[in-house]
Structure 1
Amino acid sequence: FEGVIDLISMRAIRGVGAKASESEVPAALQEQVNRYHEWLEESAAEGDDELTLKYLEGEPLTSDEVRRGLKLGIASGKLMPVLCGSAFNLNGLTALLDFIVGEFPSPADMPPVKGKNPQNGQEETRQPSDNEPLTAFVFKTMADPYVGKLTYFRVMSGVLRSDSHVWNANKERDERVGQIFFLRGKQQEPTPAVHAGDIGAIAKLQETSTGDTLTDRAKPIILPPIEFPAPVYSVAIRAKSKADEDRLGPALSRLAEEDPTFRYYRDPETGQTVISGMGESHLDVVIERMKRKFGTEVNIEELRIPYRETIRSKAQAQGKHKKQTGGRGQYGDCWIEIEPYPDGEFLFEDRIVGGVIPKQYIPAVEKGVREAMRRGVLAGYPVVNVKCAVYDGSYHTVDSSDQAFQIAGSLAFQNAAAKANMVLLEPILKVEIIVPEEFLGDVISDLNGKRGRVMGTESAGTGRQKIIALVPQAEMVRYAIDLRSITRGRGRFSTEFSHYDEVPAHIAQQIIERAKRERAEAEK
């Protein structure tokens, strides 16, 4: 990467800052550069009626006219500039900064911001002027190793001064403002005030987080929050040591506070700590920052799918627990009947007649059945959609107890489940995918290979299609990576839970065998 070509001045630029040098466009690139310059002129002309007329009459635009058209187009939101450069050797950096200074609109040229008055719910506006009431929008939060929590903000109107008090309109809390800083790369330059249009940072705000509005308490306003995309990729993590485990919770909390697209939770079913983000690279960066900033190291684990087990037929079985020791023994005996219960998770019925099992032991039988269902039968996953009735049994006046009948209930369920045609269920997700039309066929083919069922497609705007499908969650674990590969980074998707469905027999067998191996290893 040697440098960049400025399509406005039609000069090649190599190097950075004082060492940057300009030269003629290389002859090998001249034809391509001319073509791109013509496209740039066309885009610039669309920003101004006078320039549009001149362009349509076939007259070339001057460099100043191109700059004027670009500036107007960017300010109106019609144009989205794209510049290239190298982060490795910084080629193109000088051209980027010059373009930002010269062509980006001044805050004073922008329309007033709109927000809602929290006191009356009415929409209000703020002009980008120092004479307006204070309105500052918090767009980023970081954990700085030296000053602690660092809040980044942009003053939309008014002036935010050091050593003052501001009102957090979102949290309805007063915040004390200490020293305010301008940020120059890694350097923090103290400043007495930040004026309308400028960006600054404050250390150690107690209540403020990303998306909040800092304002004048007498004239509050809440600006619309940034709409962050929902995470699309998740992995499970486990602390490497006991010390790492103690630091893990606070580290994840700080990282989530800094990055609204990062989320974490502990899955109560699988017992795993799950982190979610925008892709594999995003989570790699999060894990690296966890180690560098918070001294917390983790291992990545395979994400466990919350499968379920259920029965497909009716069955009856006995559960009998009899144990005689030197003193008082244990005795519990019950017969239960189980059958599919599609209307709910679980229903327990007492059909005992004649007192063959005393009333006080019936709850113990139910507790034992529930415990057996929680542990699972096939692969250790919870059993659902079962109706269970206890209808017969026996007891001992001395040796029977709640514990004995709880064990008997658990044994009875295990015995009955073995005869009730048990199957494995998997979570099915409703997936909405938006892709360019040219990738539609490849994406649908990939979904079919993931056991997905395409429910339909519809237009999602010019040149884009929305695909709606039902796909097993087990097939979606790495879908963010797969979709990026298929669509060259131009596709996006969202998911939500739909329902549980039966796992195909050959896949279920693999899951069951893997669960047996894991149990055997855990018991060693």
Structure 2
Amino acid sequence: MKIYDDKHIKNVAFVGANKSGKTTLAETMLFEAGLVKRRGSVENKNTVSDYHEIEQERETSIFATPLHTEWRNYKINIIDTPGLDDFIGEIASTMRVADSIVTVVNAQHGVEVGTEIIWNYVDRFSKPTLFVINQIDNPNADFDESFKSIVDLVGNNAIKIQYPLVIDGAQCIIDVLKMKLYKFGPEGGKPEKLEIPADQLDLANKLHNELVEKAAENDEDLMELYFDKGELNEDEMREGIKKGMLNHELFPVFCISALNDMGSGRLMGFIDNVAPSAADLKPEQSVEGASIECKVDAPTSLFIFKTLYEPNLGQISFFKVKSGEVKQNDKLENSRNEEIEILNQLYIMDGKNREPVEKLSAGDIGATLKLKYTETNDTLRTKDSNITIKPIQYPDPRIRKCVNAVDKNDEEKLNEALKRIHSQDPTVTIQYSTELKQQILSCQGELHLATINWMLQKIYGIKAEFEQPRIAYRETIQRSATTSYKHKKQSGGSGQFGEVHLKIEPWFEGMPEPEGFNIRGKEEIDLEWGGKLVFYNCIVGGVIDTRYLPSVLKGCLEVMEEGPLTGSYARDIRVMVFDGKMHSVDSNDISFKIAAAHAFKAAFLQAKPKLLEPINELTVKVPEELMGNVMTDLQSRRSIILGMDSDGRYQTIKAKTPLAEMYRYSTTLRSITQGRGSFSTKFSNFELVPNNVQDELIKKEK
């Protein structure tokens, strides 16, 4: 295969709503370039991109799939992404290595929910972006409304490069950059290039002039040139458009029919000639703060942006060459663990098809097999080059489930499968909670969860059950209480004896020292689960020997590890041990630990015990017209609304919501907003549980 330099490699991500035609467009571009002899279709389950069994079964993309095509001495690396935000992790990985974004819009629907959600992510990265209005030949297509919806999304910097029309039953596209009309036959393919008809000249010239002005705005030299001669030639316009895209201030809009192969060749030409390459972008900053130059003669660095497991191949690691070049059998160092990896094989991947190559240069995307020490987000580099590429920041999980194998003999097998799924998709997280005594799986939504379950069953042969996780409550007290307990046991020989008198109080930061006690020692313990235990030695006259006090403390801590109300962790308590008795023969550590535990538990139950529940900070983004329904639902979940902000056509609601009320919120929000709402959540603090809820929880525990 031909080796391309950094200026002739274009990396584009196809994003957009589900069913907008991204996979079909990728297939058509491969066909146009002659890399496939026959175009597959999603319905026939034979596209290059959607080759996984689950994608073919559901007729939708679930994985981001790298492909490539070659067009007029340029190499275009395409990454076809899912259109559902449950698989936002695949999109996040793709954004990290794409140089330009192609946002595909269905001409029948305009900008849809999925496009809006994904655009919020694209906009955060400020990647050069162009829009493609697809399915222009569909009877229900409405190009003008679709373009208007793009303007509503990105503002007036959306600019038409093309618009469609039908002449004598033939689908045509007028290109206002080249000022040509493309006329397509019924089978699509290569169009007939014609002059723009007289009845379209005024509109075409108007759009052309708007494009010239937009192109000139992005460069002072071009602006002066435009003022001098009142026009820019095609090359000058391309230069201005590219600069506008690089500034994330100009969004060209094309129109195509991917299914019927109309306009894809022109789109590829624009990607070749105008869309920025990796070398055009600003140099990336490494973790160490140095610039990573996209140059062949720089030290080699690769960024692993995706890991995939295939039954016959094992682990496939997809990477982008950030600098230098990589050759077959190169030895590179992993910056995370300093292990040396040998890249025995290099490939260009097109779906499941792989083409061996001897080397890849800066800016290119490739794959290798069976790396031993390397995962997604790792950097492979020339040894001692001190380059670490900044990792992908994945979105936080939105739903949590307790997961177990139906057959308990499969538990170990389940754990291994989940580790592999996490390696392939870092937005899936697995954690065993010793507090809840449950294995918690977190992911992006119900559809994401259904996909994980499908993989467990079909790929790993494991039946799993998913349940609502327990809630990590905390227990504390609201007033002081004083108790004592005598532990006495005699069963022949040495017995057990220990008597402890103590007082407990609620603890808070900055509170004064306890009054009425002769404080001889103080120990502050930061509890692993949050909060504190403050322990005071107030023993007078040696009624309890000092050597037994650590056992008294241990007895208190053991009760706090399994609180008296619901078995949850207790926190924020101070204990004053002020009296007791011991026996010269029968007293020992175990006796005082038992006595302290009983005394502490009795005092806890007398001290107006209270449950604390975890509260999450919830941010919900919804269309303005649906805000009322979302607010009503939040209030039914015991939420406290913190504030609301406008964000274009959206409203952002910030609230504090108990974690116990967040179960299945993802599904509810999707239903209320017809999929147009999105949310993020993170732990905030613990707060008192309402009395009726506490009574129910204690009753359930008993």
> Structure 1 length normalisation: TM-score?
0.78
Cα separation, 1, equivalents of 2:469 and 2:255 = 39
Is structure 2 residue 348 aligned with structure 1 residue 348? no
Cα separation, 2, equivalents of 1:24 and 1:371 = 70
Residue equivalent to 2:294: 126
Residue correspondence of structure 1 range 102-113 to structure 2 within 5 A: 104-105=271-272, 109-110=276-277, 111-112=280-281
Distance 1:145 1:169, change over 3 A: same
Contact 1:317/1:413 (<8 A) preserved: yes
Is structure 2 residue 203 aligned with structure 1 residue 59? yes
Distance 1:439 1:24, change over 3 A: closer
Deviates more, 1:390-399 or 1:498-507: 390-399
- CA-to-aligned-CA distance 1:469-510 (integer Å, 9 cap, x gap): 211111123222223333333333333322221111111111
Gaps of 5+ in 1: 8-15, 86-90, 517-524
Cα separation, 2, equivalents of 1:34 and 1:375 = 64
Contact 2:331/2:342 (<8 A) preserved: yes
Distance 1:35 1:448, change over 3 A: closer
What secondary structure sits across from 1:363 in the alignment?
Answer: helix
How far 1:202 moved relative to its partner?
0.2
Cα separation, 2, equivalents of 1:314 and 1:191 = 74
Deviates more, 1:411-420 or 1:324-333: 324-333
Cα separation, 2, equivalents of 1:414 and 1:322 = 18
Cα separation, 2, equivalents of 1:361 and 1:260 = 49
Cα separation, 1, equivalents of 2:339 and 2:532 = 44
What secondary structure sits across from 1:405 in the alignment?
Answer: helix
Cα separation, 2, equivalents of 1:162 and 1:306 = 51
Is structure 2 residue 700 aligned with structure 1 residue 514? yes
Cα separation, 2, equivalents of 1:397 and 1:515 = 41
Give the aligned residue type for 1:411.
H
Residue equivalent to 1:489: 675
How far 1:230 moved relative to its partner?
1.8
Cα separation, 1, equivalents of 2:640 and 2:589 = 48
Distance 1:240 1:57, change over 3 A: same
The alignment-based identity, stated in percent, is 32
Contact 1:244/1:298 (<8 A) preserved: no
How far 1:94 moved relative to its partner?
6.2
Contact 2:159/2:253 (<8 A) preserved: no
What secondary structure sits across from 1:59 in the alignment?
Answer: helix
Residue correspondence of structure 1 range 472-483 to structure 2 within 5 A: 472-483=658-669
Residue correspondence of structure 1 range 108-187 to structure 2 within 5 A: 109-110=276-277, 111-112=280-281, 114-116=283-285, 121-126=289-294, 134=300, 136-155=302-321, 159-168=325-334, 174-187=340-353
Distance 1:96 1:274, change over 3 A: farther
Match of 2:626 among 435, 439, 442: 439
Distance 1:322 1:45, change over 3 A: same
Gaps of 5+ in 2: 1-18, 26-36, 42-134, 164-174, 180-195, 212-233, 510-530
Cα separation, 1, equivalents of 2:444 and 2:595 = 49
Residue equivalent to 1:465: 651
Residue equivalent to 1:252: 418
Is structure 2 residue 536 aligned with structure 1 residue 370? no
What secondary structure sits across from 2:570 in the alignment?
Answer: coil
Residue equivalent to 1:10: none
Deviates more, 1:367-376 or 1:287-296: 287-296
Cα separation, 2, equivalents of 1:277 and 1:307 = 22
Distance 1:380 1:40, change over 3 A: closer
Is structure 2 residue 395 aligned with structure 1 residue 229? yes
Distance 1:451 1:53, change over 3 A: farther
Residue correspondence of structure 1 range 213-228 to structure 2 within 5 A: 213-215=379-381, 223-228=389-394
Contact 1:148/1:203 (<8 A) preserved: yes
Residue equivalent to 1:45: 160
Distance 1:378 1:53, change over 3 A: same
Distance 1:362 1:216, change over 3 A: closer
Cα separation, 2, equivalents of 1:81 and 1:285 = 34
How many correspondences in the alignment?
491
Aligned-residue CA RMSD (Å): 4.4
Give the aligned residue type for 2:534.
L
Cα separation, 1, equivalents of 2:40 and 2:507 = 77
Cα separation, 2, equivalents of 1:80 and 1:476 = 41
Distance 1:271 1:35, change over 3 A: closer
Contact 2:320/2:364 (<8 A) preserved: yes
Residue equivalent to 2:405: 239
Residue equivalent to 1:500: 686
Contact 1:45/1:52 (<8 A) preserved: no
Distance 1:422 1:80, change over 3 A: farther
Cα separation, 2, equivalents of 1:254 and 1:436 = 37
- CA-to-aligned-CA distance 1:221-270 (integer Å, 9 cap, x gap): 55554332222211111233454222344333322222122222222311
What secondary structure sits across from 2:606 in the alignment?
Answer: coil
Residue equivalent to 1:298: 464
Give the aligned residue type for 2:203.
E
